[in-house]
Structures are given as structure tokens and as C-alpha cells.
Amino acid sequence: MPDERDAVVITASRYPHGYASIRSLAARDVHTVAAVDDETLSVTASRYCDESVLVAPPSDLPAYKDALLGLAARPDVRTIVPHRPHDTYLLSKYADEFERHIDVVVPELETLKDVHDRKRLAEAADRAGVAIPETKLLDDVDDWSGNRIVKSRYNLLTDEYLESFEFEDSKIAKSVEHVPPGETPDTDALVEKMNHEPIVQEYVEGNDEYVFGALYDRGEALATFQHRQLRGDSYTGSGGVYRETVDVPALEEAGRAILDELEWHGLACIEYIEDAETGEFSIVEINPRMWQSLGCATHAGADFPHWYWLAATGSADEIEPGYEVGTGTHYLYGELEHLVSVAREESPFVERPSLVGRTGEILRSCYEVPNFDYLHLDDPRPIARQVRNELEGAVTRRFG
């Protein structure tokens, strides 16, 4: 082994939250192991990444599971921190196998199904008395007179949820279709595109989007966090690329209510939209893992990677929750994706902004709030690696 320190496995990808975890845990003198399916990822260039291990991509779920089990079996590894959509599913479904070697903080599989299945999530939200858009299965919709969104019923398509799937067939389903009033979609085409019967939700006109993050221990909140999304990776919404920490009592109440109802255990990232008509915080989805904008939390002092480590290693009583309100951070590549969406995407519900005007807004906010997920003066190699990778990818797509 490289040294005698306790080690943690971070399932890193091209998104910045794995890097946030590695910076956090390295600062606590934990040996950081980045489990990556591409050795050229930015995180592997970090001075805080003690070790990187090449694993199969999650799209090959059996091989990915075996790779994580192999890492868990190392005598120095104490836990695996879930960052990728498949991680919590594997750690929960195969808990008996993983817990022979390590301690993890994840919900039981039946509880996990309540958030992976957006139909069941809507039912849980109703029991908890919190807002969520009206949610129906596609075949149950006979009225298309209002604004509707069609999206995957499941966060993750697996054999646990779909009879037509084998273990190795898992997929991430992110497609979202906006359906204008009075337009009846081709339901057969939607089922074929999404590989299952999707759900239909009413479109909620929102003032702002928010994230409520939490770490729970068997129904009890250990720590919570909030940020307001100022820009997403698409102008229509999606993952936050410019955010600012907030502390809104009504959001705290809504976040805790649904997780208390679920008797949650582990990490949760709840995406909300503030309903412009009612002012309620309406649930968009729950992701049971570290979230893309984790760097905003850690920069503000909400050190969820370290708190997860403490919970997994039997020291949850050492967690001191809290964070600084008003802290903003940017994911620079996500800001670029936002501009691409302005140039290329259209939505019947959201007015597309001016490309020139939005570019000016991004540049101004980066100058006024110079806090970034990957760009750090004490660790410049990850951002340099990312720029190189994106330039090489652009050349390959253009001339390859």
C-alpha cells in the first residue's frame, strides 16, 4: 500500500463534485483514491489525489460493481463515497457484499426505490405534505390541455425496476420533453426513446431553483445545506453551474419533511423549484449521492465529504453542521454548456435569452464572484487538464 493512512474511495467523473471530495478529505489527512474510468480526467491531475485507479465504466455495471468491491476489499479502504448515479444503488442492493469490507452510509434498497421511482416519490411527498408537480404515468394521461413535461420514471434504469432489463443493461435516462398545451405527443415514440413507460408532470412556472442537501443517520438529520441556482447548464434549468448559498426556513422545512417521511439514511440532494404562483418549494427530484455543485457547499464550510467520512467511520457525533450564507461558486465548463444551450436549444416554456447579453452576465459574475469548482491557485493542474481534454475532444469531433 502507498502509505499507512486510512483510505477513501471517491468515484470521480468529469463533473466537479469528485474533486471537491478529494480536496476535502485530503485536507483531513485521508488517503484519497479516485476510482475513474478515464485516467485523463481532471481529478487525477490534482495534487490532492493520492492515487487513481482505473475501473470499468458504470455502463458496464457488473464490471463496475466488481471493481468497487475489489477496492473495498483493500485493507486500508474504510469507505466509498457515492458520487455517480449507480453508486448508491450498488452499495445498497449489494450491501451484504460491501459491508464485509467497509462501512457505507446508504439507504436500504426499498427506501432507495422511493426516490429512484418518481411515481413513488410523488406518493411519498403527498404523505409528507410537501409540494411536488402532479405526476402520472404516460398511459394514464388523457388531458394535454396544460403545459406538461415528460421524463423518465426512474433516475436509473436497472433490472430491479424493469423486467425487460438484465443486470448489465442499466442506463441513465435524462431525456425531458416539453409538451405545449393542446399538443398530444407520440406516446409509442416516447416509450421507445426512454426504454420504459415514463411519467408526465405538470410544468411548474418557477421564480428560482434551489438545492437542499442533507446527510441523515437512520431518519435523523446530521447536517443540511441550501443553495439557490443562479444559472444551470441549460438556460431552461438542469444542474447548477452558478449558485449561491442561502438559508430559507421554508425550504429547510420542506427538505426535512420528505426525508423524515422516508426515514432517510445517507446523502440526499433534493432539487426544488419555487412555484411562482403559490410560493411553495416543489420537488423536482432527489439524488441519493453527492451532488454536482458540491464545491459550493464545501467552499461555504458545509464539508459533506468529511461529514460522510465521520458518519461512515463511527464518528458522527463529531459533525459540526453549518455554513456561510451568501457564498457563490462557478463551474466554468458548465457555464460554457449554458452558452451552448442558449445558442442551440429551444423551449416552448422558457424564453431564450440573448447570447451576447448572457455572455456578458457570465463574465461579470465570474469577475465579481471569483470562486470556481476546478480553478484553484493552490492546485492549477486540474483546470489545465480539463481545458486540454476539451480542446482535444473538440478537434477530434471536428476532424476525427
Residue spans of alpha helices (H) in 300-349: 304-312, 332-344
Q: What is the amino acid identity at position 291?
A: W
What residues pair up with 285 in beta bridges, in sequence order?
A: 271
Alpha carbon 238 to chain centroid, angstroms: 10
pLDDT confidence of residue 1 = 43
Spatial neighbors of 250 by CB under 8 A, at least 6 apart, are 281
| pLDDT, mean of residues 218-239 | 90
pLDDT confidence of residue 304 = 98
| pLDDT, mean of residues 296-314 | 97
User: pLDDT > 90: what percent of the chain?
Assistant: 77
Q: Does 390 score more than 90 pLDDT?
A: no
Between 311 and 235, residue with greater pLDDT = 311
Could you give the CA distance from residue 119 to residue 135 in angstroms, rounded to a whole number? 7
User: pLDDT > 70: what percent of the chain?
Assistant: 97
pLDDT level of residue 2 (50, 70, 90 thresholds):
very low
Q: What is the mean pLDDT of the chain?
A: 92
Q: Give tens-digit pLDDT for 311-369.
A: 999 999 999 999 999 999 999 988 888 888 888 888 777 788 889 999 999 999 999 99
Q: Give tens-digit pLDDT for 239-272.
A: 789 999 999 999 999 999 999 999 999 999 999 9
Q: Where in the chain is the domain with CATH 3.40.50.20?
A: 7-111
Q: Where in the chain is the domain with CATH 3.30.470.20?
A: 206-383
**Under CATH, which number does the domain 7-111 receive?**
3.40.50.20
Q: Give tens-digit pLDDT for 64-105.
A: 999 999 999 999 999 999 999 999 999 999 999 999 999 999
**Under CATH, which number does the domain 206-383 receive?**
3.30.470.20
DSSP 203: P
The three cell numbers of residue 325 are 450564507
Q: Other CB atoms closer than 10 Å to residue 344's CB: what's the count? A: 9
Spatial neighbors of 97 by CB under 8 A, at least 6 apart, are 69
Q: What is the pTM of this model?
A: 0.93
